């Protein structure tokens, strides 16, 4: 590939790529992000490619493997261009029909379309952008994911890629760039929400020849995968943002710190760095501007705390990821003691948009204090699990119901957890608050990096708090005692409560410990660790009290507090639960009412799940004794049913 | 993920040399070197750590600190099949704890352990990022979604 030496050459090269592409040539874009791959997208791609070849259309149809557009719930999915037909839940067996019907005969295949739920007639939607899940989003950052092959730099160039870099390097001074980002009011997307422009300014003003810029892609919150989708689906946008930032700050060496648990992101980012070097977007004298910059990738080795910037720096230096006190902030003393600017993946990906479209592009969207869009991973008990990008200021209710399609199986909404292990649970009464950095903090949660876990009536809030504390006690690095001991003690109390060993005064003790841990811990991990506890106590105190006083788990989750019981009047002795019970804890036989041996029962819930709805014989009990089993001679039900006679 | 052969012996020292050479013997690359050895060999034998210590001139106790601090490293051999149960938040609210309980009962080991026949190793992972499939179990890189305790038995039985 020829090296591109100037903005003019870049534009000529881009024109050349676009002119060689026929916009009317059918293109089947299949999502091959991690979610769809887990659902079998690779087989779909192979089947499509084979089919295209078989029907002699190899030169007439493109099959493109793209990044994640976000609708994981209905994967594997694909979009056929130029008509933008969206097919969901694909199987390799559908390939033949897609090629012969949709590509050749231009007919839409009804059964693969999105069906609008809960309408009388089966209303179907053909175009991707018309599906409610997408329609209510604003996809500035992830919108390109389905349009480009993340392994192809030409695809990125075809959608305007690296034009912001050319503009920044050749038309703006570093000071202008810092001011541009400052006036866009871009706040860091990693969790803390610190203004990116101000951070850049600190690093720019630090008087040292050697400076570093870093992409924090150590996305550790369980249930969050926004950054992965960006780095995996559109890696060049992150590289472009980082390079612009490096130029603005005066750095010539950048790092991408990515978790090794994201193999596809590591692969795609690695390919992107190589391609950018070949094209001259990285290396010496980038686009003839005289600016030199290289990027190296560093894989995290599995430690949640390394998402904290000072711990990340330790890890980059090859040491255990233990945070250190701030100040000095990394902008003054960072990697190897040099000024360092660390931003999250999503923050960096915003930079090219700001440079290309001006700061108003961001400031025109959002609320007073939070501008632009934010990507959330909407997961848990919600119909449309996936990645959603929405304007700041949208309500939680709109995200969960309009985009997310509400709660499955007609269950009742209980809470939404935002911000991962540092965040809090927000109940129904606050669903109409506007989602931004400040509003979420007011109700005891945080926006965090963008995890959003929806919980329904079957979720126990004590168990959720215990879950997060368990996670955090495992991930606490142990360096400072308030975090190490505080979390451990809170976890101990929560575990006791969920096991029915809770005592009067435990809630107050939890609150006291939470305050001490939050005030005295060294880094954000410990300082925010009390949030899951405090927010669940604040909104769901009655659940805590039920566990402590009545030894009852209202959501039937805490194993020690629940029992499964087969109602002898309803049991039809169908043998289903008896056969499926992994613990062989069900006694009975054909025509013999089944009884659960409470001693053997592991409370896995299999019997409750498999008992046919029309019988509904298996019930859950909590806070009440299990009725003693009926005597063996009364268990025979032959004669009761006419069929058996 | 390829199903690599299990080797309980230390990997060839030439391979370790190659990996170290790739990072130009730079002590700052310690974690990257160890990660590559881990991925190549699936665990870190004492001999390998000694070698890394000598070549990178990093004391063994610091290496020990690193390999016990980060979760990616294993100091014991892994079984033929690696079972990962996702315990991310989305999977948790969808019933991952019950799934994990039954997997533990079925293969008789707890997370972080390998059975005596070296057949299964069990790990929990914090989030695999395919929350739409939750609860998820991954065996040798193959995803099994929407798992239930009863279903996990069928899946695990299919591995020899």
Rounded Cα distance between B51 and B32, Å, is: 15
Domains of chain B: total: 2
Kindly list the residues from chain A whose CB atom is less than 8 angstroms away from the CB atom of residue B27.
318
Rounded Cα distance between A504 and A502, Å, is: 7
Question: Hey, which residues does A639 pair with through a beta bridge?
Answer: none
Rounded Cα distance between B17 and B51, Å, is: 9
Selected residues 370-399 of chain A with any CB under 8 Å from a CB in chain B: 377, 379-381, 385-386
Nearest residue of A to residue B129, measured between CA atoms: A225
| Residues in chain A, overall count | 645
How far away is chain B from the Cα of A105, in angstroms, using its nearest Cα?
33
Going through A308-352 in order, the beta strands assigned E by DSSP cover 340-344
> A301–B34: do the CB atoms touch at under 8 Å?
yes
Q: Whose CA is closest to A245, among A290, A201, A185? A: A201
Same domain, A101 and A215: no
Last residue in a domain, options B69, B89, B109: B69
Last residue in a domain, options A549, A582, A612: A549
Interval A55-66: pLDDT, tens? 999 999 999 999
- Position A1 scores a pLDDT of 62
Q: Which backbone phi and psi does A444 adopt, to 5 degrees? A: 90, 10
Same domain, A303 and A436: no
Q: Is residue B48 part of a domain?
A: yes
CA A395 vs CA A4, A225, A434, A439, B83: distances in Å:
45, 21, 4, 10, 39
How far away is chain A from the Cα of B105, in angstroms, using its nearest Cα?
9
Interval A90-121: pLDDT, tens? 999 999 999 999 999 999 999 999 998 766 66
- Position A127 scores a pLDDT of 95
Count other Cβ atoms within 10 Å, centred on residue A626: 12
Question: Hey, which residues does A451 pair with through a beta bridge?
Answer: A377
Same domain, B86 and B133: yes
Kindly list the residues from chain A whose CB atom is less than 8 angstroms away from the CB atom of residue B143.
38-39
First-to-final CA distance of chain B: 18
Kindly list the residues from chain B whose CB atom is less than 8 angstroms away from the CB atom of residue A299.
31-32, 35
Q: Is residue A148 part of a domain?
A: no
> B125–A477: do the CB atoms touch at under 8 Å?
no
Same domain, A191 and A330: yes
Q: Is residue B74 part of a domain?
A: no
Q: How many Cα atoms are found within 13 Å in the side-chain-facing hemisphere of A272?
A: 30
Q: Is residue A226 part of a domain?
A: yes
Does B37 contact chain A (CB < 8 Å)? Answer: no
Query: Residue A353 corresponds to which tokens in the numbers above?
Result: 């948009």
Same domain, B49 and B91: no
Helices (H), A523-587: 524-528, 531-549, 576-580
Same domain, A433 and A487: no
Does B128 contact chain A (CB < 8 Å)? Answer: yes
Contact (CB, 8 A) for B81 and B121: yes
Last residue in a domain, options A411, A435, A456: A456
Same domain, B51 and B90: no
Count other Cβ atoms within 10 Å, centred on residue A138: 16
Same domain, B65 and B116: no
Burial degree of A486 (CB within 10 A; 0-12, 13-18, 19+): buried
For residue A282, what is the enclosing H or E element?
none
The minimal CB distance from A315 to the residues B31, B95, B149 is found for B31
Interval B110-159: pLDDT, tens? 999 999 999 999 999 888 878 888 899 999 988 999 998 889 989 999 99
Domain carrying residue A606: 559-635
- Beta strand A85-87 with A114-115 is unpaired
Last residue in a domain, options A456, A480, A506: A456
- Best mutation target, A31, A35, A37, A222, to test chain B (most B CBs within 10 A): A222
> A380–B131: do the CB atoms touch at under 8 Å?
yes
- Position A639 scores a pLDDT of 52
Q: Is residue A305 part of a domain?
A: yes
- Best mutation target, A224, A255, A256, A380, to test chain B (most B CBs within 10 A): A380
How far away is chain B from the Cα of A22, in angstroms, using its nearest Cα?
35
Does B126 contact chain A (CB < 8 Å)? Answer: yes
Domains of chain A: total: 5
Rounded Cα distance between A428 and A307, Å, is: 31
Domain carrying residue B95: 81-157
For residue B84, what is the enclosing H or E element?
strand B81-86
Same domain, A183 and A316: yes
Instruction: Please enumerate in sequence order all residues whose Cβ is within 8 A of that of A360, keeping only pairs 6 or more positions apart, or say none.
Output: none
How far away is chain A from the Cα of B154, in angstroms, using its nearest Cα?
11
What is the layout of strands, in order, in the sheet containing A212-217? A294-300, A253-259, A212-217, A340-344
Q: Is residue A5 part of a domain?
A: no
The minimal CB distance from B131 to the residues A223, A301, A605 is found for A223
Q: Is residue A14 part of a domain?
A: no
Contact (CB, 8 A) for A500 and A623: no
Q: Is the pLDDT of residue B7 over 60?
A: no
- Beta strand B81-86 with B120-125 is parallel
Does A34 contact chain B (CB < 8 Å)? Answer: yes
How far away is chain B from the Cα of A361, in angstroms, using its nearest Cα?
30
Percentage of residues in chain B having pLDDT higher than 70: 93
Q: Is residue A143 part of a domain?
A: no
How far away is chain A from the Cα of B66, in angstroms, using its nearest Cα?
5
Longest CA pairwise span in chain A (Å): 94
Rounded Cα distance between A62 and A376, Å, is: 31
Q: A402-410 — which CB contacts under 8 Å span 24+ positions?
A: A402/A132, A402/A136, A403/A132, A403/A133, A403/A136, A403/A137, A403/A378, A404/A133, A404/A378, A404/A454, A405/A117, A405/A132, A405/A133, A406/A382, A407/A381, A407/A382, A407/A383, A407/A454, A407/A456, A408/A381, A408/A382, A408/A383, A408/A456
- Position A2 scores a pLDDT of 77
Query: Residue A180 corresponds to which tokens in the numbers above?
Result: 């541009």
> A379–B134: do the CB atoms touch at under 8 Å?
yes
Same domain, B91 and B56: no
Q: Is residue A497 part of a domain?
A: yes
Q: What is the dihedral of CA B32, B37, B38, B43, to 10 degrees?
A: -150
Q: Which backbone phi and psi does A232 adopt, to 5 degrees? A: -80, -40
Which residues of chain A carry a pLDDT beneath 50?
Answer: 640-645
Q: Is residue A115 part of a domain?
A: yes
Phi-psi region of A616 (alpha: psi -120 to 50; beta: other; left: phi over 0): left
Same domain, B47 and B91: no
Rounded Cα distance between A475 and A419, Å, is: 16
Same domain, B85 and B139: yes
Same domain, A290 and A227: yes
Same domain, B133 and B153: yes
Same domain, B59 and B112: no
């Amino acid at each position: 590939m020829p090296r591109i030496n100037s903005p003019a050459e870049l534009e000529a090269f881009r024109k050349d790529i676009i002119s060689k592409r026929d916009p009317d040539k059918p293109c089947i874009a299949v999502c091959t992000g991690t979610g769809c791959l887990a659902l079998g997208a690779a087989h779909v791609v192979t089947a499509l490619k084979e089919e295209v070849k078989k029907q002699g259309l190899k030169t007439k149809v493109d099959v493109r493997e793209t990044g994640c557009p976000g609708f994981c719930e209905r994967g594997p999915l694909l979009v056929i261009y130029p008509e933008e037909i969206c097919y969901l839940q694909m199987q390799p067996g559908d390939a033949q029909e897609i090629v012969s019907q949709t590509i050749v005969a231009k007919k839409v295949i009804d059964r693969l379309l999105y069906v609008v739920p809960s309408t009388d007639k089966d209303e179907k939607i053909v175009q991707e952008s018309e599906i409610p899940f997408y329609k209510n989003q604003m996809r500035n950052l992830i919108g390109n994911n389905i349009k480009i092959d993340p392994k192809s730099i030409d695809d990125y160039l075809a959608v305007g890629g690296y034009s912001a870099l050319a503009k920044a390097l050749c038309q703006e001074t570093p000071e202008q760039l810092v001011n541009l980002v400052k006036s866009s009011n871009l706040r860091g997307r990693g969790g803390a929400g610190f203004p990116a422009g101000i951070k850049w300014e600190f690093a720019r003003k630090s008087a040292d020849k050697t400076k570093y810029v870093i992409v924090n892609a150590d996305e550790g919150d369980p249930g969050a995968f926004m950054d992965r989708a960006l780095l995996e689906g559109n890696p060049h946008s992150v590289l472009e943002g980082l390079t612009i930032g490096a130029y603005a700050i005066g750095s010539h060496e950048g790092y991408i710190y990515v978790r090794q648990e994201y193999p596809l992101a590591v692969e795609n980012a690695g390919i992107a760095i190589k391609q950018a070097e070949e094209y001259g977007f990285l290396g010496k004298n980038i686009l003839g501007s005289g600016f030199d910059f290289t990027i190296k990738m560093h894989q995290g080795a599995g430690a949640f705390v390394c998402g904290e910037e000072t711990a990340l720096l330790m890890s980059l230096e090859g040491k255990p990821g233990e945070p250190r006190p701030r100040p000095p902030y990394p902008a003054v003393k960072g990697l190897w003691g040099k000024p360092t600017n660390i931003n999250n993946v999503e923050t960096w990906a915003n930079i090219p948009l700001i440079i290309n479209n001006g700061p108003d592009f961001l400031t025109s969207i959002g609320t007073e204090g939070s501008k632009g869009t934010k990507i959330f991973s909407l997961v848990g008990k919600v119909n449309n699990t996936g990645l959603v990008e929405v304007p700041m200021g949208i309500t939680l209710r709109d995200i969960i119901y309009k985009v997310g399609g509400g709660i499955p199986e007609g269950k009742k909404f209980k809470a939404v957890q935002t911000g991962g292990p540092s965040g809090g649970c927000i109940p129904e009464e606050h669903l109409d608050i506007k989602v931004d950095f400040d509003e979420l903090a007011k109700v005891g949660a945080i926006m965090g990096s963008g995890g959003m876990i929806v919980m329904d009536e079957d979720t126990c809030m004590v168990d959720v708090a215990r879950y997060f504390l368990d996670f955090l006690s495992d991930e606490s690095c142990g360096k400072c005692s308030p975090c190490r001991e505080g979390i451990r003690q809170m976890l101990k109390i929560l575990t006791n409560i969920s096991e029915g060993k809770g005592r009067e005064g435990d809630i107050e003790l939890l609150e006291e410990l939470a305050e001490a841990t939050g005030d005295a811990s060294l880094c954000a991990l410990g300082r925010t660790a009390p949030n899951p506890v405090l927010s669940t106590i604040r909104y769901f105190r009655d659940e805590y009290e039920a566990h402590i006083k009545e030894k009852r788990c209202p959501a039937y989750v805490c194993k020690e507090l629940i029992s499964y019981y087969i109602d002898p009047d309803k049991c039809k002795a169908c043998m289903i639960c008896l056969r499926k019970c992994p613990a062989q804890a069900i006694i009975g036989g054909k025509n013999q009412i089944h009884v659960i041996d409470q001693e053997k029962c592991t409370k896995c819930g299999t019997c409750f799940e498999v008992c046919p709805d029309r019988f509904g014989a298996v019930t859950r009990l909590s806070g009440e004794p299990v009725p003693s089993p009926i005597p063996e001679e009364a268990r025979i039900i032959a004669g009761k049913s006419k069929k058996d006679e | 993920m390829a199903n690599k052969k299990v080797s309980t012996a230390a990997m060839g020292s030439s391979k370790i040399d190659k990996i170290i050479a790739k990072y130009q013997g730079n002590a700052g690359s310690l974690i990257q070197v160890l990660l590559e050895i881990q991925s190549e060999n699936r665990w870190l034998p004492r001999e390998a750590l000694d070698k890394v210590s000598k070549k990178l001139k990093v004391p063994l106790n610091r290496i020990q600190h690193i390999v016990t601090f980060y979760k990616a490293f294993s100091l014991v051999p892994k079984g033929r099949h690696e079972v990962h149960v996702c315990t991310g938040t989305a999977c948790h609210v969808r019933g991952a704890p019950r799934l994990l309980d039954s997997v533990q009962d079925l293969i008789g080991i707890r997370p972080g352990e390998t059975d005596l026949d070296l057949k299964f190793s069990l790990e929990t992972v914090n989030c695999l990022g395919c929350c739409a499939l939750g609860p998820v179990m991954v065996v040798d890189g193959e995803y099994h979604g929407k798992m239930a305790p009863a279903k996990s038995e069928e899946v695990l039985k299919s591995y020899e």
